Structure 1
Amino acid sequence: MVAGVAMPVDYNVNDTEPTEGSRTYAIIVCAFASLGGFFFGYDQGVTSGVLIMDSFLNDYCVGWHNFTYEECTRSSSDLPGEWTTFTVWYNMVYNLGCLVGALIGGWVADKFGRRATIMSAGVLFCIGTTWVCLNPAQDHTLMYIARIVQGFGVGNSSFSLPLFGSEMAPKELRARLSGLMVFPVTFGQWLANLINILVENDGNGWRISNAVSMIPPIIVMCGIFCVPESPRWTYQKKGKEKAEAVLKRLRQTENVHHELTAIGDQIAQESANDLGFKELWEPSIRKRVIIAMVFQLGQQATGINPIMTYG
């Protein structure tokens, strides 16, 4: 993953009261939203195949600086320097976009809601991917810009989807449902490689491979406003009554008093304490933060992302 997410802190550590109502609808909502993880996994998986497709090489390498097809298909160590630089920047600007998208995603999520953040992630990704697919051959500068826009969408979704899942899920299933995005990510990586194989000999193969990645975010964008907003965000921005209506819909029951009270107490405590980054180092939280950071750094240190991108 290119970005992590800080989940809301649960101050009700002694709360053993089971969540009221049905869990089924919440599971369906979280599973639907997790489809957004597909375009992160797919885009990461598709790149390695695209960069060596004849269709991509003919559009962006052959003829650039008078490179021949033979020069563009040499082993990695013998490729023209300009082409190697382009492929590196092709991925670097995308990751830069992911970074900015994840940072901005937090502000959008707090200001406009979790659903709006997921929608904006899908819109940005589809704009960037459409731009990539339609980008004129040999226009390397515009391709960089398109990749940055793609990254905005992916980084945004990397923040908003786990957050949305954690706030929609019953507390008994919170860890499992907020991590549900992992499955579409890995499936997207697998499917990207399969699509690359199927279209590798097509004259527009690299464009087709990239275009396929827009299908899941389009589905998510069409349906995201058919599911409830986060009850936590609703309580914080629109009040208790609106949050109660959301919870009743989400839990499929009228009996949501306990969960509603817990959300209100948590928000009140956060507001009273003016919580910020320094609270991450409180003794009760510090260990969890360190463990999460070590896992994130460890995942990057394995080198799997470069392997997925260039392997």
Structure 2
Amino acid sequence: MTDTAAEPLITSNDDDGEYERQVRYSEEVDDGDVDESALVSPGVFIWTLTLCAGISGLLFGYDTGVISSTLISINSDLSSRPLTTLDKSLITSATSFFALLASPLTGLLADAVGRKPAILAADLLFVLGAVWQAYATSVWAMIAGRSVVGAAVGSASFVVPLYISELSPSPFRGRLVTVSSLFITGGQVVAYLVGWAFSERGGGWRWMVGLGAVPAIAQFGMLFFMPETPRFLIQKGKVAEGKKVLTRVYGDGAGMDKLVTAVLRRVEKEILEEEDVAAPSTVKHEGSWKAKMTHIISNFHQLASVGPNRRALTIACMLQAFQQLCGFNSLMYFSATIFRLVGFHSPTLTSLSIAVTNFAFTLVAFWCIDRIGRRRILLLSVPVMVAGLALCAVAFSFIDLSGEEGASHLLVRAEGAEAEGSKVWPAIILLSMVIYVSSYAVGLGCVPWQQSELFPLSVRALGSALATSTNWFSNTIVGLTFLPMMEFLTPTGTFVVYAGVCVACWVTVWRIYPETAGLSLEDVGGLLREGFGVKESVGQFRGRRSER
């Protein structure tokens, strides 16, 4: 590395708050010394930040999981009548619909003021939504409370993986982002345990939803001790602060100063290269509202018109859509309803087996996502999902759910009566769902949340937010259509549809999803420069593995 490597390419001016960019990185700057392969494990600092940020994932998982127990515990507490199918669909889908609306808005917030304030805003919404639900007395009040929680979930679901990915060293980025998924699945386990504990109490559902405020309050306090991400700080001209955070991330061992400087310069160079295609006014007058609007419009334009950005957005949105359209969250929302339908005496407790499976196999994903790679995990796990769904469809075909009353009888039985006949097929349904959930947790449950690594820094927050919006749009579709599909397509037809979606997912991943494991955030963009880079990325990943 040359002597100029210690000097920042982006310098700050504390007098007027603006910063001057010095384009001096041509031949005299060597930015190729970012070799993080010698790092053995994440340090205490990065682990602490990851766990603190992951509490938002716990809230995400709790609020999406608790509704399963809540729906069968409300009885006539809302609007003085039993919940209808439409009521359940609206209460469930309100969360995902408002998550869809909130994600792009939070993306703009995270771009403008930082990743940390976006997490803070999500915490405030989590508390408000939990209290609102706990005191709801009508169906529409409950829908409103679920909508506030949805805005919180939509914000947290993209900003926490973004925060962790911008802090993490590249050899551990996949695992550390997967910690957020671990918290999500752990939150779902907690939700089912709480649901089971309060399911027999009158008005116990109010405790189920209200307890969601507790972790949000705890994280709110922790945020005051958490730094902003170094990449965002450097982008805003706060180079010294960014370098300080990088130093704490990588530690002060032998050779770490050189590594920190190399990472710093790699980030600076990316920012400077991106500004070559940005509107000049957004660089010179960042404080004006006109410049801010120009900057927002420029970011949307860059996502849509710049080839690598457009390909990154295509991959991220594709993965997020398939993650939901495969039907997984129908189990999170309606698993207790399904298990009551097929005759289990304790549907909430049976649903806990699904949540525990999800958590356990997310641990498997944590172990293997950086070792095996994102792409390979999906190609191996999605066919197992298809097998689980197909087995479930077959098992449902041997259970008589229609009776003489017609299709609507299915939901009547879901509300109270038990399925008759052999217990073998209900047990096979449970087994098939465990197979499906385990394979989902290893691959499709975790890999799409690695989305931040696909985007360059200038559009990372916005691109991640739009991809997350795709997730919640697809989630809304699943929440609104699952019970009607169970009625009109029958359970067998419903799970066949989900299996078909998984087949489409496998084909799409095989064709366009490159392998990004082990690459720095600044290197991933190079894969997408001329195309999707699938063959090149797979070859590079094999080379990195053989060198270990």
Q: How many residues align?
A: 277
Matched residues in 1 for 2:101 and 2:31: separation? 33
Matched residues in 1 for 2:275 and 2:208: separation? 47
Matched residues in 1 for 2:158 and 2:186: separation? 19
Partner of 2:114 in structure 1? Answer: 113
Say which of 261, 275, 278 aligns to 2:304: 278
TM-score by length of 2: 0.47
- Residues 33 and 262, structure 2, Cα contact 8 Å, conserved in 1: no
Partner of 1:87 in structure 2? Answer: 88
CA deviations 1:75-99 (Å, max 9, x no partner) are xxxxxxx722211111222111111
Partner of 1:42 in structure 2? Answer: 62
Matched residues in 2 for 1:204 and 1:217: separation? 23
Q: CA deviation at 1:144?
A: 2.0
CA deviations 1:44-89 (Å, max 9, x no partner) are 1111111111xx213116x33xxxxxxx4xxxxxxxxx72221111
- Residues 113 and 229, structure 1, Cα contact 8 Å, conserved in 2: yes
Q: Percent identity?
A: 27
- Give matches, 1:140-159, under 5 Å: 140-159=139-158
Q: Counterpart of 2:35 in 1: which secondary structure?
A: coil
Question: Looking at CA atoms only, which structure, 1 or 2, has the larger radius of gyration?
Answer: 2
- Residues 303 and 313, structure 2, Cα contact 8 Å, conserved in 1: no
Cα 1:170–1:125, aligned 2, differ >3 Å: closer, same or farther?
Answer: same
| Counterpart code for 2:333 | T
Q: Counterpart of 1:180 in 2: which secondary structure?
A: helix
Q: CA deviation at 1:291?
A: 4.5
Q: CA deviation at 1:16?
A: 4.4
Instruction: Return 297-306 or 248-257, whichever deviates more.
Output: 248-257
- Residues 228 and 250, structure 1, Cα contact 8 Å, conserved in 2: no
Partner of 2:498 in structure 1? Answer: none
CA deviations 1:111-143 (Å, max 9, x no partner) are 1111100011111111111111122x2x22222
Matched residues in 1 for 2:188 and 2:147: separation? 20
CA deviations 1:218-253 (Å, max 9, x no partner) are 222110220211111111124212222232333343
* Residue segments in structure 1 that go unaligned for 5+ positions in a row: 1-11, 65-71, 73-81
Matched residues in 2 for 1:280 and 1:211: separation? 45
Partner of 1:302 in structure 2? Answer: 326
Instruction: Return 270-279 or 105-114, whichever deviates more.
Output: 270-279
- Residues 77 and 203, structure 2, Cα contact 8 Å, conserved in 1: no
| Counterpart code for 2:45 | Y
| Counterpart code for 1:100 | L
Instruction: Return 142-151 or 43-52, whichever deviates more.
Output: 142-151
- Residues 280 and 289, structure 1, Cα contact 8 Å, conserved in 2: no
CA deviations 1:154-191 (Å, max 9, x no partner) are 00001110000001111221222123211011111112
Matched residues in 2 for 1:15 and 1:150: separation? 44
Q: CA deviation at 1:31?
A: 2.2
- Residues 34 and 263, structure 2, Cα contact 8 Å, conserved in 1: no
Matched residues in 1 for 2:266 and 2:37: separation? 11
Matched residues in 1 for 2:89 and 2:44: separation? 45
Does residue 1:220 correspond to 2:219, yes or no?
A: yes
Q: Counterpart of 1:228 in 2: which secondary structure?
A: coil
Q: CA deviation at 1:279?
A: 5.7
Cα 1:29–1:19, aligned 2, differ >3 Å: closer, same or farther?
Answer: farther
Cα 1:16–1:118, aligned 2, differ >3 Å: closer, same or farther?
Answer: same
Q: Which has the higher contact order (CA 8 A, sep 6+)?
A: 1
- Residues 199 and 205, structure 1, Cα contact 8 Å, conserved in 2: yes
Q: Counterpart of 1:130 in 2: which secondary structure?
A: helix
Instruction: Return 236-245 or 226-235, whichever deviates more.
Output: 236-245
- Residues 23 and 170, structure 1, Cα contact 8 Å, conserved in 2: no
- Residues 115 and 225, structure 1, Cα contact 8 Å, conserved in 2: no
Q: Counterpart of 2:161 in 1: which secondary structure?
A: helix
